[in-house]
Structure 1
Amino acid sequence: MVVMKFGGTSVGSAAAMRQVIANVAEKKKSSAPLVVLSACSGITNKLIQIADAAGSGCLEEAQQLVGEVRQFHLDLIGELIESEELQQEVIAKIEVYLTRLERLTEGIEIVGELTERSKDRFCSFGELLSTSVFAAALNEAGVSCKWIDVRTVMITDDRFGFARPLAEICQKNTSEIIKPLLDAGTVVVTQGYIGATESGRTTTLGRGGSDLSAALFGAWLHSESIEIWTDVDGVMTTDPRIVPEAKSIRVMTFSEAAELAYLGAKVLHPDTIAPAVQKNIPVYVLNTWHPDSKGTLITNDPELLAGKSHGGLVKSIAVKKAQAILNIRSNRMFGRHGFMSELFDVFERFGISVEMISTSEVSVSLTVDDAVVSEPLIKALGALGEVEIEHKVATVSVVGDNLRMSKGVAGRIFNSLRNVNLRMISQGASEINVGVVVDESDVQAAVASLHCEFFAESQCDAIFEKPAGS
Structure 2
Amino acid sequence: MAVMKFGGTSVGNARAMQQAIDLVAREKLNGAPLVVLSACSGITNKLVRLAEASGRSALDEALLLAGEVRRHHLVLTVELIKSSELQAELAAKIEEYVAGLEMLARGVDIVGELTERSKDTFCSFGELLSTTIFAAAMKEQGHDAEWLDVRRVMITDDNHGFARPLGDICRENAGTIIRPQLDAGTIVITQGYIGAALNGRTTTLGRGGSDYSAALLGAWLHANAIQIWTDVDGVMTCDPRLVPEARSIRIMTFSEAAELAYLGAKVLHPDTIAPAVEKNIPVWVLNTWHPDAKGTLITNDTERLSGMSYGGLVKSIAVKKGQCIINIRSNRMLGRYGFMAELFGAFSRYGVSIEMISSSEVSVSVTVDDKCFSEELLQDLRALGQVDIEHRVATVSVVGDNLRMSKGVAGRIFSSLRDVNLRMISQGASEINVGFVVEEKDVETAVNTLHHEFFSGEETVGIFEKPAGIP
Q: 2:12 is aligned with what amino acid?
A: G
User: For 1:365-404, what per-residue CA distance to the aligned partner results, in whole angstroms no more than 9, with x for missing partners?
Assistant: 0000001121111111111111111111100000001111
Shift of 1:144: 1.6
Matches within 5 A, 1:179-258: 179-258=179-258
Answering whether residue 82 of structure 2 is matched by residue 82 of structure 1, we say yes
User: For 1:243-286, what per-residue CA distance to the aligned partner results, in whole angstroms no more than 9, with x for missing partners?
Assistant: 01101110100000000000000001111100000000000000
Shift of 1:307: 3.3
**1:371 corresponds to:** 371
Greater Cα offset, 175-184 or 300-309: 300-309
Matches within 5 A, 1:33-44: 33-44=33-44
TM-score (ref. length: structure 2): 0.96
Measure, in 1, the Cα distance between the counterparts of 2:330 and 2:342. Answer: 13
1:277 aligns to what SS in structure 2?
helix
Measure, in 2, the Cα distance between the counterparts of 1:307 and 1:398. Answer: 23
Measure, in 2, the Cα distance between the counterparts of 1:348 and 1:354. Answer: 9
Matches within 5 A, 1:445-456: 445-456=445-456
**2:305 corresponds to:** 305
**2:394 corresponds to:** 394
User: For 1:82-109, what per-residue CA distance to the aligned partner results, in whole angstroms no more than 9, with x for missing partners?
Assistant: 1011111212222221111000000111
**2:424 corresponds to:** 424
1:436 aligns to what SS in structure 2?
strand
Q: Is the 8 A contact 1:194 1:204 kept in 2?
A: yes
User: For 1:408-458, what per-residue CA distance to the aligned partner results, in whole angstroms no more than 9, with x for missing partners?
Assistant: 000000011111110000004121000010011111000000000000259
**1:468 corresponds to:** none
1:414 aligns to what SS in structure 2?
helix
Answering whether residue 437 of structure 2 is matched by residue 437 of structure 1, we say yes
**2:17 corresponds to:** 17
The percentage of aligned residue pairs carrying the same residue is: 72
What runs of 5+ residues in structure 2 fail to find an aligned partner?
459-471
What is the CA RMSD across the aligned residues, in angstroms?
1.0
**1:314 corresponds to:** 314
1:418 aligns to what SS in structure 2?
coil
User: For 1:314-351, what per-residue CA distance to the aligned partner results, in whole angstroms no more than 9, with x for missing partners?
Assistant: 10000001001000000000000010001000111111
Q: 1:153 is aligned with what amino acid?
A: V
1:314 aligns to what SS in structure 2?
coil
Q: 1:10 is aligned with what amino acid?
A: S
**2:384 corresponds to:** 384
Q: Is the 8 A contact 1:311 1:455 kept in 2?
A: no
User: For 1:217-254, what per-residue CA distance to the aligned partner results, in whole angstroms no more than 9, with x for missing partners?
Assistant: 00000000100000000000000110011011101000
Measure, in 2, the Cα distance between the counterparts of 1:169 and 1:61. Answer: 40
Matches within 5 A, 1:169-180: 169-180=169-180
**1:464 corresponds to:** none
List structure 1 runs of 4+ shifted beyond 3 angstroms: 309-312
How many matched pairs? 458
Q: 2:285 is aligned with what amino acid?
A: V
Q: 1:141 is aligned with what amino acid?
A: Q
Measure, in 2, the Cα distance between the counterparts of 1:195 and 1:280. Answer: 24
Q: Is the 8 A contact 2:312 2:403 kept in 1?
A: no
What runs of 5+ residues in structure 1 fail to find an aligned partner?
459-470
Q: 1:43 is aligned with what amino acid?
A: I
Q: Is the 8 A contact 1:249 1:310 kept in 2?
A: no
Q: Is the 8 A contact 1:251 1:310 kept in 2?
A: no
Q: Is the 8 A contact 1:227 1:286 kept in 2?
A: yes
**2:68 corresponds to:** 68
Measure, in 2, the Cα distance between the counterparts of 1:382 and 1:309. Answer: 49
**2:464 corresponds to:** none
Measure, in 2, the Cα distance between the counterparts of 1:350 and 1:373. Answer: 8
**1:161 corresponds to:** 161
Shift of 1:119: 0.6
Shift of 1:312: 5.5
Measure, in 2, the Cα distance between the counterparts of 1:8 and 1:420. Answer: 37
Measure, in 2, the Cα distance between the counterparts of 1:90 and 1:175. Answer: 30
Q: Is the 8 A contact 1:309 1:315 kept in 2?
A: no
Measure, in 2, the Cα distance between the counterparts of 1:243 and 1:268. Answer: 19
Q: Is the 8 A contact 2:312 2:402 kept in 1?
A: no
Measure, in 2, the Cα distance between the counterparts of 1:121 and 1:435. Answer: 39
**1:463 corresponds to:** none
**1:462 corresponds to:** none
**2:469 corresponds to:** none
**1:111 corresponds to:** 111
2:70 aligns to what SS in structure 1?
helix
Q: In structure 2, do the counterparts of structure 1 residues 428 and 295 end up closer, same or farther at CA, with 3 Å as the change threshold?
A: farther
Q: In structure 2, do the counterparts of structure 1 residues 311 and 70 end up closer, same or farther at CA, with 3 Å as the change threshold?
A: farther
Matches within 5 A, 1:316-355: 316-355=316-355
1:233 aligns to what SS in structure 2?
coil
Greater Cα offset, 308-317 or 287-296: 308-317
Measure, in 2, the Cα distance between the counterparts of 1:430 and 1:457. Answer: 26
Q: Is the 8 A contact 2:352 2:373 kept in 1?
A: no
Measure, in 1, the Cα distance between the counterparts of 2:391 and 2:141. Answer: 52
TM-score (ref. length: structure 1): 0.96
